[in-house]
Every structure is written in C-alpha cells, then in structure tokens.
Amino acid sequence: MGLRGAAFKEIKGLSEWKRDQAVFCCYFPGGFAGNAARGRSDARLTALAVRSIELGVKLALAGEVDAIVTPPINKAGLRKAGFNIPGHTEYLARLSRTKRYEMMLVGGPLRVVLVTRHLPLKDVSKNLTKKGIEDAIFLTASELRRSFGVKKPRLVVCSLNPHAGEEGNLGTEEMEIIGPAVRSARKKTNTLIRGPLSPDVLFRDAYQGAYDAEICMYHDQGQIPLKMISRGSGVNVTLGLPFVRTSPDHGTGYDIAHKFIADPGSMREALELATALCRHRKKYDAHRRS
C-alpha cells in the first residue's frame, strides 16, 4: 500500500492491529502530541521520538514485533533537546544491551559494513584495531548466514590507504593492523575473506557480484559507492541486535520538508528488507533447532 491517500488509525494497543486492514495503525502509549512543525526540530516532539525508539525496543525484546524500522532522526535536534545520543545505532545497542554491533548499508549488489562510523577522517587511523576489524568480519559473516540466507559468505576487506599502502610506502595500517586482522579471521571462521584490497578496484568486482559484503574502514569509503549505485534506495541494517532493525539511508531533510518532494524509496526498501530478514532469520533458527 502506498502512502499517497493512505488512511491512518490510532490504536490503543497492538491487539487492535489486524494484518489485513487497509490502514496504517499508529500506536503510542498516551497518544500523540498533535501536529509537528515542518522543517525544524522541536524539543517536545524530539523527546517523543526518543520514547518511540524505546517503545520499539521494548516490544521487540518482548517478542511482540519481529522488527524495528526507524525513520531518520535529527542528531542536532537530539542535542538541543538534551539527549546524549550519537545516533539510532548506538542507542538501540544501549537499550538492548548489545556489545557487538555493526552498521551495514545495503543497496543494489552491495552490502557495506563500516568498521568506524561517524568519525572525522583525521581520527580514523587511530581508531582502527585488529580486534575491531576481526569483530566486524565475524559479525558480518554470522549475519549473512542468519539474516540474508548466505550459506558460505564471501567477504572483501578494504585497505585504508591508496594502493593498499604499497608495502608501507603510502601508509602502514595495512601491514600492521588490517592485514593481520584478515589473516587471523581466516583461521577462525568458515568464510572466504579477501583483502586488504584497494577500494578503487574491489568495488567494481563487488558491483559485478564477486562478494557478499564489503568491510570498509570508514564512513564515506563505503557510503559513496553504495549511494551512487543504490540511487536513493539504500537501507541501513544494524548487525548484532537481538531483533531485526533497518532504516532508510538518508537524513531528516528539513530543508525540503515544505516542498513535498522527498523520495520515499529508501523507506519502502527498508520495510521490504526488514520483512525479508525476518523471514530468513526464522528459517535459519528453525533449521538450527531441528
């Protein structure tokens, strides 16, 4: 069902939700707080948005919902409203007491996983560790099997420096951190792992289907090729949570809120991918129990 002309209905509890209803059911304890002003954050409504995240996690941990699909939230608005929350991913992990988690972006044939996320470029190198890269590899391989239905994952690990460091001439991170992490991970998981390879080469092969996921060292290394390929339909998936979580791969778009030109494609993809991931997880878990 599309959003244009859709009907919305506020319900008092999830027991009122019917799968075949031709409406969007809206549930929030205590009801909603009226209309929201377009194109700007509001501390009162930001607080309600945070409460809705907490409600979603509560319902997911109780098994009352299978997945959480989160629309974007404005980080500057969170700070102005007094919340010390760097983003959805970190807050969902905190609420669910998840220690190992990663951000995966899905678009077209790419599934990019970010070893470091929202850091200035000058801080990336000093935040790369052998353990952090290994953890990203292990969690990606595990989630590909359980949530994406990939029996034997094929991973590729990006270098940090141009030309994979050229044996130390353009940087030593590949020799001292990334390469050792890849070699160690190969011994510990039944997964095909290549790398570290230069991103300007590997993403061409990834686009042609050579890999099931790409492990990237920093935010834009993975986001730029993914957004170019996905053309506005990319989806963010949080790996490692005890429930499925997806979100559209874009921000709040306050600057265009009054123009009514926002593209809902990424949100639709997030909803559809959440459904697919739940289906794969249930099948995988049932097989493991049998």
208 is a domain residue: yes
Specify whether 212 is located in the same domain as 132.
yes
Encode pLDDT of 22-32 as tens digits. Answer: 778 888 887 76
Stretch (H or E) spanning 195? strand 192-197
The pLDDT value given to residue 41: 83
Q: How many Å apart are CA 13 and CA 33, to the nearest integer? A: 17
* Residue 285: DSSP 8-state: H
Specify whether 225 is located in the same domain as 143.
yes
Classify the C-alpha dihedral 56-31-71-8 as positive or negative: positive
Total domains, the chain: 2
136 is a domain residue: yes
Specify whether 128 is located in the same domain as 208.
yes
20 is a domain residue: yes
Specify whether 126 is located in the same domain as 19.
no
Specify whether 124 is located in the same domain as 216.
yes
Range of the domain at 220: 101-240
SS3 content of the chain, % helix, strand, coil (to 5): 45, 15, 35
Q: Residue 160 corresponds to which tokens in the numbers above?
A: 């940090």
78 is a domain residue: no
150 is a domain residue: yes
Q: Residue 152's domain is classified under what CATH number?
A: 3.40.718.10
Specify whether 21 is located in the same domain as 111.
no
261 is a domain residue: no
pLDDT score of 3 more than 80: no
211 is a domain residue: yes
Encode pLDDT of 132-178 as tens digits. Answer: 999 999 999 999 999 999 999 999 999 999 999 999 999 999 999 99
Q: What is the overall mean pLDDT for the chain?
A: 91
Specify whether 231 is located in the same domain as 108.
yes
Specify whether 227 is located in the same domain as 120.
yes
* Listed residue (87, 82, 78, 13) closest to 249, CA to CA: 87
Specify whether 3 is located in the same domain as 133.
no
